[in-house]
């Protein structure tokens, strides 16, 4: 049982909770303001390495950001996917919500949208993400998310290509979707 | 990933997510976090839900949407979250998935799968500071 106002968020990211609470309870901000501020705090804090710049590098070592914000009163939504070289993902998502009729912008085009509205372009790489990337390469690119390709993605780095059907090696034929992510991988990063 | 729900004293609701996704993802991959109904969802006068976990799985089920629909059907936030999680776990029993759910009265709950416990953070006028709750998965 609860009461209002309420701030609730995933994980023990309490600085984010407090930031949102300050906005909604002490500063007279809206629920949308509070969500933006709370998530922004997590982006600055790089919560758990799974939020904000400098974490969870992709195969090429680049960090990209996904974010969404929703106003239930109007049923408006703004979102960005694979946002590159801009740190303030939730704030860019809010601009998508409030300054366009669209819902989701992605990749370099989302970056260009952000830059046009005054956000700054900067690298999202950190010493930590560089090390994560280097360790991954040194570990034969394990784990990774490729299946049914050659060379065997469970043993080697790419580049990968489609195998000829008669040469597909057994360990490479992962048909069970439950093996897409092992429990250890879930601990390395998550959405 | 952070998923957040805020409901003001008048019952106005907002929700959001922010994440850098999975380590070592294939370039161009986007998870569930920016997908409405998957990473988060809200309906006025009803409530909201937000998730975290394996977005490649979650985006196939729209669990946040399902949880809010469950609230409309009269479920408590905890039961609404459990139902949405179970729908995914039936297909992917090992996937790491978690949901927080709140209704427009400020009642809240959570459910999870694939990890031992799932912690989430809450503050409301009943509490003098942020409380971190844990649910068993």
> Closest Cα to residue B14, out of A75, A66, A15?
A75
- pLDDT, residue A166, reads 57
Name the residue facing B121 among A14, A69, A79 (closest C-beta): A14
User: In this complex, do A136 and B94 lie within 8 Å of one another by their Cβ atoms?
Assistant: no
* Average pLDDT of chain B to the nearest whole number: 98
pLDDT at A173: 47
pLDDT at A169: 54
CB A82 within 8 A of CB A66: yes
Taking 50 as the pLDDT cut, the residues of chain B under it are none
Residue pair B13/B7 in contact by the 8 Å Cβ criterion: yes
Which pLDDT score, from 0 to 100, does residue A186 have? 47
* Phi, psi (degrees; rounded to nearest 5) at A76: -85, 145
Task: For residue B27, give the 3-state DSSP assignment.
Answer: coil
Report chain A residues whose CB lies below 8 A from the CB of B24. 57-59, 136, 141, 143-145, 188-189
Tell me how far apart the alpha carbons of residues A95 and B113 are, in angstroms, rounded to a whole number: 34
Measured CA distances, B41 to B12, B34, B109 (Å): 14, 10, 15
Tell me how far apart the alpha carbons of residues A190 and B6 are, in angstroms, rounded to a whole number: 22
Query: CA A187, CA B44: separation in Å to the nearest integer?
Result: 34
Residue B53 pairs with which residues in a beta bridge?
B97
Q: How far is A26 from chain B (nearest CA, A)?
A: 12
Please list every residue in chain B whose beta carbon sits closer than 8 Å to the beta carbon of residue A12. 119-121, 132
Chain A residue at shortest CA distance from B48: A72
The b/e string for B102-122 (b: 16+ C-beta within 10 A; e otherwise) is bbbebbbbbbbbbbeebbbbb
Q: Is the peptide bond before A159 cis (omega within 30 degrees of 0)?
A: yes
Torsion angle defined by CA atoms of residues A141, A142, A143 and A148, in that order, rounded to the nearest 10 degrees: 70
Residue of B40, B106, B115 with shortest CB distance to A70: B40
pLDDT at position A164, please? 81
Is B1 among the catalytic positions?
yes
Q: What is the pLDDT along chain A (191 residues), one digit of tens a residue?
A: 679 999 999 999 999 999 999 999 999 999 999 999 999 999 999 999 999 999 999 999 999 999 999 999 999 999 999 999 999 999 999 999 999 999 999 999 999 999 999 999 999 999 999 999 999 999 999 999 999 999 999 999 999 999 886 555 555 444 444 444 444 444 456 89
CA distance B20 to A129: 11
What is the pLDDT, as a whole number, of residue B105? 97
Chain A's closest residue to B89, CA to CA, is A178
Query: What does DSSP assign to residue B44?
Result: T
Of B41, B52, B106, the CB nearest to A11: B52
């Amino acid at each position: 049982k609860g009461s209002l106002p309420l701030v609730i968020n995933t994980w023990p990211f309490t600085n984010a909770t407090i930031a949102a609470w300050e906005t909604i309870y002490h500063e007279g901000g809206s629920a949308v303001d509070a969500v933006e501020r709370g998530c922004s705090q997590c982006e600055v804090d790089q919560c758990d390495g799974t939020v904000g710049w400098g974490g969870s590098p992709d195969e090429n070592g680049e960090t990209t950001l996904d974010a969404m914000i929703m106003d239930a009163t109007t049923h408006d939504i703004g979102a960005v996917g694979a946002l590159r070289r801009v740190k303030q993902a939730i704030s860019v998502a809010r601009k998508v919500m409030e300054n366009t009729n669209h819902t989701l912008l992605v990749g370099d085009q989302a970056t260009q949208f952000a830059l046009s509205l005054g956000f700054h372009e900067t690298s999202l790489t950190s010493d930590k993400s560089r090390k994560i990337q280097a360790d991954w390469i040194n570990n034969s690119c394990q784990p990774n998310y490729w299946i049914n390709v050659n060379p065997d993605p469970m043993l080697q780095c790419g580049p990968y290509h489609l195998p000829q059907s008669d040469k597909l090696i057994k360990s490479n034929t992962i048909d069970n979707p439950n093996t897409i992510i092992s429990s250890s991988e879930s601990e390395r990063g998550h959405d | 990933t952070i998923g957040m729900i805020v409901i003001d004293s008048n019952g106005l609701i907002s929700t959001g997510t922010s994440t850098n996704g999975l380590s070592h993802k294939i370039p161009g991959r986007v998870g569930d976090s920016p997908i409405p109904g998957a990473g988060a969802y809200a309906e006025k006068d009803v409530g909201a839900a937000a998730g975290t976990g394996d977005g490649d799985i979650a985006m196939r089920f729209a669990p946040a949407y399902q949880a809010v629909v469950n609230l409309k059907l009269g479920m408590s936030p905890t039961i609404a979250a459990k139902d949405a999680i179970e729908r995914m776990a039936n297909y992917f029993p090992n996937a790491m998935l978690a949901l927080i759910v709140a209704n427009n009265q400020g009642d809240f709950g959570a459910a999870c799968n694939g990890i031992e416990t799932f912690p989430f953070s809450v503050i409301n006028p009943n509490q003098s500071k942020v409380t971190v709750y844990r649910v068993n998965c």
